[in-house]
Amino acid sequence: MRARRNLLLLILFLATTLLVCGITYRLALRKAEVDQQNQGAVQLQIAALDLQSILQKYEALPFALGFQSDVRQVLQHPEDAQAVDRLNRAFKIIQQQSRAVNIFMLDRHGLTLASSNWDEEFSYVGRDFGFRPYFRQAVQGRAGRFYGIGNVSSEPGYFIAQPIYRRQDQADGDLPIGVMVVKVDLAEFEHTWRSSEDPITLTDAGGVVFLSNRPEWKYHSLQALSVPVQQELAGTHQYADLPITPVSALPPALQRGFGTHVSRPVGRLGWQLMLFPSHARMQRTAMLSTMAAALAMVALAISLLAWYQHRRRVQERLESRDALRRAAEELDQKIAQRTGELTAANQAIAAKYEKLQQTESLLRTTQDELVQAGKLAMLGQMAAGVTHELNQPLAAIRAFADNSVKFLARGQTAQVAENLQHISSASATMGKIIAQLKGFARKSGEAVVTVDLRQAIEASALLLNSDFQNLGASIRIDIREPAHVTGDVVRTEQVLINLLRNALDAVEESPTRCVCVVLEVDQPRQQAVVRIRDSGAGIADEVAPHLFEPFFTTKSSSKGLGLGLAISSSIVQAMNGQLSAHNHEGGGAEFVVRLPLARTET
C-alpha cells in the first residue's frame, strides 16, 4: 500500500511539474515575443528616421534645379546645343556635390533633354521615360516619387520629380513644359542593416521587398501578388521585369528568419519598414525560464520530502519516546548532511555559473579585440599601399612642373598649358586614390564601372612618358582589339603604372631599352589580356616564387617598398582576374594581366 501510494505521489508530482513547465514556457515565450517586438519597434524607429531624413534631404532639390538659368531655354529650344551643354555640365557639378546618383530633365513628352551623365556610356540623353509613374505625376503638376530599377543603367534608385512651368512664378492652370528628376541611391541602408542579426526589409505598397539585409529576399514579395499589382509592375517596368515570387517559395535555408515581424510605415509611397525578430532567440529565453521553474519544482519536492520525513519522525516519537529520541537524532544528522550536500551543490552550481559568465565575458572581449586588430592591420596595409600608389602621380606632377618651367622660359605657353592639364589629371588621380582609402574606413561600397582598357593603357603610358624620355627608353602600344572590363578606373590604371614602372626599371641597365604593351581578347575564355614585355635581363629563377609577396623586392630601398606587385595582384584578383609573369622567348620579362570582359562584350 505504501509503495502504491508513493508511486501515485510520484506520478502526480511529475504531472504537476510538466504542467508548471508547460505554462511557464508559454508565458515566458509570450513575454519574450513582446520584449522582442518592443526592441524591434525601437530599432525600426531609428532606421525609419534615418531613411526619412535622407528622403527629405533630396525632396526640394528637383524643385530648386528648375530655377537654373538654361532650363527653360533648353525646354523651349532643345536644338540650342550650347545651352544644352551648359545645362549638362551644371547638372554634373550639382550631382557630384549633392551625392545624388543622377540628375536629368525631361520635356513634356518624357524625352530626356539634359542629364548629369551625358558624357557616360549609359547616358540618359535622348531616352524616353514617359512610361515612368514619376513623370506622369509631375507632368500633371504634382510631385512625382518612384523607386525602381533603371531601365538604362540597371541600377536601382529612388526618383523624385517636380514639374517645370513656362514661368518661374507659375500661374494657376498652366501646364508644365518639362519635368526635373533626381535619382537617389538607398543601397547604403542595406550595409547599415547588415549589423543586425535579425532580417530587416523595406517593402513597397504592393509588398515587394526592394531593400534588405538578406540579399536573397530582394525582389521577392511577402505574399503572392495580385493581378492588378502584377499588371502595374509590368507597365512601369519598376523592377526591370524580374519575376516576383513570394519569399515563402524560396528554399527553406533561404527563408531563415521569415515569419512574425514588426512593421513601421515610412516615406510617402506606402512603404513598410519591417523587422523579423529571431524566434529561436525567443525559444531559448523561454527554455531558460522553464529550466528555472523545473529546478524550483525539484527544490519544492525536496522540501516536501524533508517535511514528510519530519512528520514521520514526529509520529514515531508519540509511539516511543526513546525510539523517537534516537530517531530524532538520526533525522537531525541526515537533515544536516543533506542540507550540507544541497548547500555545497548550490554553491558549486553558483561557482560554475559565475565562471561561465566570466568565460563568456572574456570570450566577447577577446573577439572584439581580434576584430579591432584585424581592422587596424588592414588599414595599415592599405596605408602602405596608398603610399606606394601616390608615388607615381607625385613623380608625374614633379616632372611636368619641371618641364613647364623650361617651356615657360622658352616662351612655349602651349606646352605649359598642356603640362598643367597633365598636372591637374595627376592631382585628380591622387584625390581618387585618397578617396578610396576614406571609403574603406567608412565601409562604403566601391564604385564599379565599365573600364576601357585602351584608354587606361594610354593614360598610364602618358603619366610615365617623361620617365621613358629621361631614360632614353621607347614604349610601343599595340591595341589589337578594343576591350572593356568591369572595375575601378583608378585601380586599373595603377596596376598598369606599376607594371610599366617595373618594366622601365628592368631595361635601365639594358643596351636596348624597349617596352611593349599589347592588348588583345581571348574569345574562348571571354577575357581581356594585357601583355607588358621589356627588353631587360628577365626574372631570375630564385626570384620567381616570391615575385608577388609583400615587401619582397630586388631593388634598393630608394626605389620601392616591394609592395607594387603584391598590390597589383590583389587589385586584379578583386576584379576576378589573374596576374602572372614569365620570361619571353626574345629575352626579358613578360607580365600578363587577364580580366573578365564586361557583360556588354560577352
What's the one-letter identity of residue 289? S
| pLDDT at res. 466 | 77
More confident residue, 279 or 491: 491
pLDDT at 126 over 90: yes
pLDDT at 521 over 90: yes
Q: Is the dihedral of CA 274, 275, 280, 282 positive or negative?
A: negative
pLDDT tens digits, one per residue of 25-41: 888 778 877 877 788 78
pLDDT tens digits, one per residue of 198-240: 899 999 999 999 999 999 999 999 999 999 998 988 888 899 8
One-character DSSP codes across 25-62: HHHHHHHHHHHHHHHHHHHHHHHHHHHHHHHHHTTTHH
- The model's pTM: 0.47
> How confident is the model over 60-73, as a mean pLDDT?
92
pLDDT at 193 over 80: yes
| pLDDT at res. 255 | 84
One-character DSSP codes across 540-577: -TTTGGGTTSTT--SS-GGG--S-HHHHHHHHHHHTT-
> How confident is the model over 352-381, as a mean pLDDT?
56
| pLDDT at res. 367 | 36
29: number of CA atoms within 13 Å, CB side?
Answer: 13
More confident residue, 426 or 65: 65
Instruction: Kindly report the backbone phi and psi dihedral angles of residue 566, in degrees, each rounded to the nearest multiple of 5, phi listed first.
Output: -65, -45
One-character DSSP codes across 151-212: TTT--EEEEEEEEE-SSSSPPTTPPPSEEEEEEE--THHHHHHTT-SS-EEEE-TTSBEEEE
More confident residue, 551 or 428: 428
pLDDT tens digits, one per residue of 392-408: 778 888 888 988 998 88
Q: How far apart are CA 589 and CA 366, in angstroms?
A: 47
The three-point CA angle 509-512-517 to 5° equals 100
pLDDT at 496 over 70: yes
> How confident is the model over 95-99, as a mean pLDDT?
93
pLDDT at 445 over 60: no
Query: For all residues of the chain together, what is the average pLDDT?
Result: 84
pLDDT tens digits, one per residue of 171-189: 456 789 999 999 999 988 8
Closest CA to 265 of 33, 45, 36: 45
Report how far Cα 478 is from the mean position of its chain's Cα atoms.
38
Rg of the chain's alpha carbons, rounded to an integer?
36
